[in-house]
């Protein structure tokens, strides 16, 4: 005999959420994205991660650029910085260097990250700035009403490519791996619990962590990166994947037909902040204010 399913009442659920302190990381502003947008999962994922890691809101800064993702700082109860188009990483780097005690999370979409902002990514990665970069990749410009982006698929029809997109898409994971990012992962907005786990890992990493989040645009993409398509194509990284092996990570990242979810690559190395402190210390020891020539 089947067990009777107990009903869930909204008020009781809200009281449960309030009691566990989860809402302390959410602002009073309600998200204004389109209903069904994957970005809702990202807000939930980040607030869950901050609560799990017991990071105080006052010690957190969320930095955004321009696009649908730029609204993100308004919906979390942290300090926020809504910057210029494509300039999220320079500003986030400045925040982190200015106060190394802060937890800095940069957010952006595929257009903001890999079009106008693409020149900043390799330098943040190679310098190993101790911050997290969450890129919400829906393969389209949503805020400007549905044009192709740097990650749009071949053959994709949009308002800017009515006769199909003929520009080959960029490969974000392979780019970040080749740039020297010390933490590279991928998640999917349709798997909320896994997404929260991945954001938690990314934020806790000491160094530059890059998480690509596959996120459907339910308004302007009805044929490509839809929930129906991604639900059948995404896969988990193999259980025996070695995330310390760069070439193994590159091999997995090259399989665009079935994008894998999980941690591709991780390494522990000196962060930019540690390098700067060590350089300043050497300079002070010389008594000249200049770096030691040895």
- What CATH number is associated with residue 257? 3.40.50.970
Q: Is residue 202 part of a domain?
A: yes
**Is residue 294 pLDDT above 60, yes or no?**
no
Q: If you ran DSSP here, which 8-state letter would residue 76 be given?
A: B
- pLDDT > 70: percent of the chain: 93
Q: How many residues does the chain have?
A: 294
The yes-or-no verdict on residue 256 having pLDDT over 90 is no
Q: Which of 5-19, 211-225, 248-262 has the lowest mean pLDDT?
A: 5-19
Reply yes or no on whether the pLDDT at 7 is more than 90.
no
> Which of 104 and 32 is assigned the larger pLDDT?
104
Q: Is 4 helix (H, G, I), strand (E, B) or coil?
A: coil
Q: Which residues in 18-52 are b (16+ Cβ under 10 Å) and which e? A: eeeeeeebbbeeebebeeebbbbbbbbbbbbbbbe
User: Given a cut of 80, is residue 2 above it in pLDDT?
Assistant: no
Q: How far apart are CA 253 and CA 249, in angstroms?
A: 6
| CA–CA dist 102, 59 (Å, integer) | 5
**What number of other Cβ atoms are within 10 A of residue 223's Cβ?**
10
3 domain residue, yes or no: no
Six token digits for residue 147: 């044009």
More confident residue, 259 or 289: 259
- Specify the pLDDT at position 284: 80
Cα separation of 284 and 290, whole Å?
8
State the total domains in the chain: 1
* 288 confidence band (pLDDT: 50, 70, 90): low
Residue 284: inside a domain, yes or no? no
pLDDT score, position 293: 53
Domain assignment present for residue 285? The answer is no
CA distances from 36 to 32, 65, 115 (A): 11, 22, 25
Flag whether 275 is in a domain. no
Determine the structural domain holding residue 150 and report its residue range.
Answer: 37-269
Is 26 domain-assigned?
A: no
pLDDT given at position 281: 85
pLDDT at 290: 57
Is residue 263 predicted with pLDDT exceeding 60?
yes
Interval 199-247: pLDDT, tens: 999 999 999 999 999 999 999 989 999 999 999 999 999 999 999 999 9
Over the chain, what is the mean pLDDT?
Answer: 91
Residue 46 lies in a domain: yes
At residue 46's C-alpha, the angle toward residues 31 and 51, to 5°, is 115
What band does 30 get if pLDDT is binned at 50, 70 and 90?
A: confident
pLDDT for 149 beyond 90: yes
DSSP string over 101-138: TSEEEEEEEHHIIIIITTTTHHHHHHHT-S-EEEEEE-
pLDDT digits (tens, 9 = 90+) for 105-142: 999 999 999 999 999 999 999 999 999 999 999 999 98
Q: Judge contact between 248 and 226, C-beta under 8 A.
A: no
User: Facing residues of 76 across strands?
Assistant: 26
180 in any annotated domain: yes
Q: How confident is the model at residue 3 (pLDDT cuts 50, 70, 90)?
A: low
Q: Round to the nearest angstrom and report the end-to-end CA distance of the chain.
A: 79
pTM: 0.91
CB atoms under 10 Å from CB of 288, counted, come to: 9
Q: Please, what is the angle between helix 39-52 and helix 192-204, to 10°? A: 50
- Judge whether 205 and 132 are in contact, CB under 8 Å: yes
Taking the C-alpha atoms of residue 287 and residue 279, their distance in angstroms, rounded to an integer, is: 13
Residue 147 reports pLDDT greater than 80: yes
Q: Which of 88, 24, 22 is nearest to 61 (CA)?
A: 88
Q: Does residue 20 have a pLDDT over 90?
A: no
The pLDDT of residue 15 is above 80: no
Distance CA 210, CA 105 (A): 10
């Amino acid at each position: 005999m089947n067990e009777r399913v107990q009903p869930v009442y909204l008020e009781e659920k809200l009281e449960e959420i309030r009691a566990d302190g989860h809402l302390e990381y959410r602002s009073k502003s309600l998200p204004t994205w389109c209903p069904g947008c994957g970005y809702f999962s990202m807000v939930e994922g980040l607030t869950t991660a901050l609560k799990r890691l017991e990071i105080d809101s006052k010690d957190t800064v969320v930095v955004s650029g321009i696009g649908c993702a730029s609204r993100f700082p308004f919906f979390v109860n942290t300090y926020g910085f809504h910057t210029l188009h494509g300039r999220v990483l320079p500003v986030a780097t400045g925040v982190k260097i200015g106060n190394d005690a802060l937890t800095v999370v940069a957010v952006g979409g595929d257009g903001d990250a890999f079009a106008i902002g693409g020149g900043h990514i390799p330098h943040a990665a190679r310098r190993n700035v101790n911050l997290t970069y969450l890129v919400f990749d829906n393969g389209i410009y949503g805020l400007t009403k549905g044009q192709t982006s740097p990650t749009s698929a071949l053959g994709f029809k949009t308002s800017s490519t009515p006769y199909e997109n003929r520009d080959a898409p960029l490969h974000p994971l392979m780019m970040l791996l080749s740039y020297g990012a010390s933490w590279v992962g991928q998640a999917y907005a349709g798997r909320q619990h896994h997404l929260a786990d991945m954001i938690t890992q990314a934020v806790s990493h000491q160094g530059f962590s890059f998480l690509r989040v596959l996120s459907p645009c339910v308004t302007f993409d009805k044929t490509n990166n839809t929930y129906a398509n991604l639900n059948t194509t995404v896969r988990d990284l193999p259980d025996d994947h070695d995330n310390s092996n760069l070439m193994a990570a590159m091999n997995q990242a090259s399989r665009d037909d079935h994008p894998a979810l999980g941690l591709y690559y991780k390494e522990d190395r000196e962060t930019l902040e540690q390098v700067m402190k060590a350089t300043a210390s050497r300079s002070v020891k010389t008594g000249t204010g200049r770096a030691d020539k040895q």
